[in-house]
């Protein structure tokens, strides 16, 4: 009887102990299907730079041209870049620059132009606590859809109602002119209608301005001529308290390859020789000046530095830092 009572007590104790665990397990939330908001802040001098994640696109290895495929394979080996049958995972980033009360957005993401999984800049901007109506200026590095389409919302309406949009004159003359479309390479012709559609409401409201490198720009931005990816591609430099930030747009797409091999071109470059020249010049200047770099297609948050490595370069991502 004593043994029976002991066994019964042990069973009861196990039941009582297990019940709270079972209850806890039953209340656990299911695993999340989404990441945290794609927002990261970095202080650079008096500037607060906010990286805004738009999503990812897949870029195929075969779109890297002017370099032996064996070199590409070796460059990608042990780099662990996520890759699907469609290509290598490539981030799309935009950057908000706050200087005092002035807000400058550099590039605007894809909006609805590239399908599901992208078009997250507006939502992430709000997640960062910024109302799109508070953005003063949108500076575009160029007129490709993953940089320009996001100036309008999902309904094609102005996304930044109090902002002026700035696009280089050379890119505006090319991408917003229907006559250019008929002579463009077949693979990029789809982008002309997208550019005209996104720009139209700003043009109608007299909110689109064009400029050339060297012209005065809002937010103390300095436009650098980095044409080659597009006829009017520019990069923007912001200086504050002895530090510089270079927002270089599409100077580089394949981070695991093109830092080490700057002469590797992207098939979508409109002038590959000019694009290589722009890339090597920006890599050299960013290294020599110890500039901060913000890249549209670098792994999010796309902020960091460039260092020399032999006769080429390497990417040094920013470390997570308190503000």
Average pLDDT over residues 287-301: 98
Three-state secondary structure call for residue 321: coil
Residue 1 has pLDDT above 50, yes or no: no
pLDDT, the chain, mean: 93
Q: Average pLDDT, stretch 184-190?
A: 91
Tens digits of residue pLDDT in 40-61: 999 999 999 999 999 999 999 9
Is the pLDDT confidence value at 207 over 80?
yes
Question: 36-66 as b/e, with b when 16 or more CB fall inside 10 Å?
Answer: eebbbbbebbebbbbbbbbbbbebeeebbee
- Whether pLDDT at 322 is above 60: yes
User: Is the predicted pLDDT of residue 266 greater than 50, yes or no?
Assistant: yes
Q: How confident is the model at residue 19 (pLDDT cuts 50, 70, 90)?
A: low
* pLDDT at residue 16 is higher than 50: no
Quote the tokens at residue 13.
């104790």
pLDDT band at 7, cuts 50/70/90?
low
The model's confidence at residue 26, banded by pLDDT at 50, 70 and 90, is low
Is the pLDDT at 9 greater than 80, yes or no? no
| Percentage of the residues of the chain whose pLDDT score is greater than 90 | 86
More confident position, 4 or 260: 260
pLDDT at 10: 53
pLDDT value, residue 20? 54
pLDDT given for residue 12 in this prediction: 47
CA–CA gap between residue 102 and residue 107 (Å, rounded): 16
Mean pLDDT of 208-213: 98
pLDDT at 97 over 90: yes
Helix, strand, coil percent content, the chain, rounded in steps of 5:
35, 30, 40
Q: What HEC string does 23-44 produce? A: HHHHHCCCCCCCCCCCEEEEEE
Whether 15 shows a pLDDT value over 90: the answer reads: no
56-71 pLDDT, tens digit each: 999 999 999 999 999 9
Q: Identify the pLDDT of residue 29.
A: 86
Question: Looking at the DSSP assignment, which residues form a beta bridge with residue 43?
Answer: 48
Q: What is the pLDDT of residues 215-247, one digit of tens each?
A: 999 999 999 999 999 999 999 999 999 999 999
pLDDT at position 264 over 90: yes
State the pLDDT at residue 292.
98
Evaluate whether 143 touches 167 at the Cβ level (below 8 Å). Answer: yes
- pLDDT, tens digit, for every residue of 305-317? 999 999 999 999 9
**Which pLDDT does position 25 carry in this prediction?**
52
């Amino acid at each position: 009887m004593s043994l029976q009572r002991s066994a019964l007590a042990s069973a009861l104790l196990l039941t009582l102990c297990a019940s709270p665990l079972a209850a806890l397990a039953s209340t656990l939330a299911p695993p999340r299907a989404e990441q945290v908001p794609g927002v990261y802040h970095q202080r650079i001098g008096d500037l607060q730079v906010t990286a805004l994640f738009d999503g990812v696109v897949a870029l195929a290895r075969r779109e890297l041209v002017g370099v032996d495929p064996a070199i590409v394979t070796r460059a990608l080996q042990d780099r662990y870049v996520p890759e699907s049958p469609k290509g290598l995972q490539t981030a799309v980033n935009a950057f908000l620059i706050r200087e005092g009360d002035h807000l400058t957005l550099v590039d605007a993401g894809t909006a609805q132009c590239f399908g599901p999984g992208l078009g997250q800049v507006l939502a992430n901007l709000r997640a960062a606590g910024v109302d799109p109506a508070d953005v003063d200026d949108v500076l575009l590095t160029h007129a490709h859809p993953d940089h320009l389409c996001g100036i309008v919302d999902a309904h094609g309406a102005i996304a930044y109602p109090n902002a002026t949009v700035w696009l280089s004159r050379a890119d505006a003359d090319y991408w917003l002119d229907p006559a250019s479309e008929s002579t463009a390479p077949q693979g990029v012709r789809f982008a002309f209608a997208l550019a005209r559609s996104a720009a139209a409401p700003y043009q109608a409201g007299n909110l689109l301005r064009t400029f050339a490198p060297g012209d005065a720009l809002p937010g103390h931005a300095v436009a650098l001529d980095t044409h080659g990816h597009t006829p009017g591609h520019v990069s923007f430099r912001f200086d504050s308290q002895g530090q510089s930030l270079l927002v270089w747009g599409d100077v580089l797409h394949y981070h695991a390859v093109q830092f080490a091999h700057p002469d590797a071109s992207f098939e979508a470059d409109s002038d590959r020789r000019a694009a290589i020249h722009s890339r090597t010049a920006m890599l050299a200047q960013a290294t020599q000046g110890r500039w901060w770099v913000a890249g549209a297609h670098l792994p999010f948050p796309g902020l960091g530095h460039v260092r020399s490595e032999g006769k080429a370069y390497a990417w040094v991502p920013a470390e997570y830092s308190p503000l």
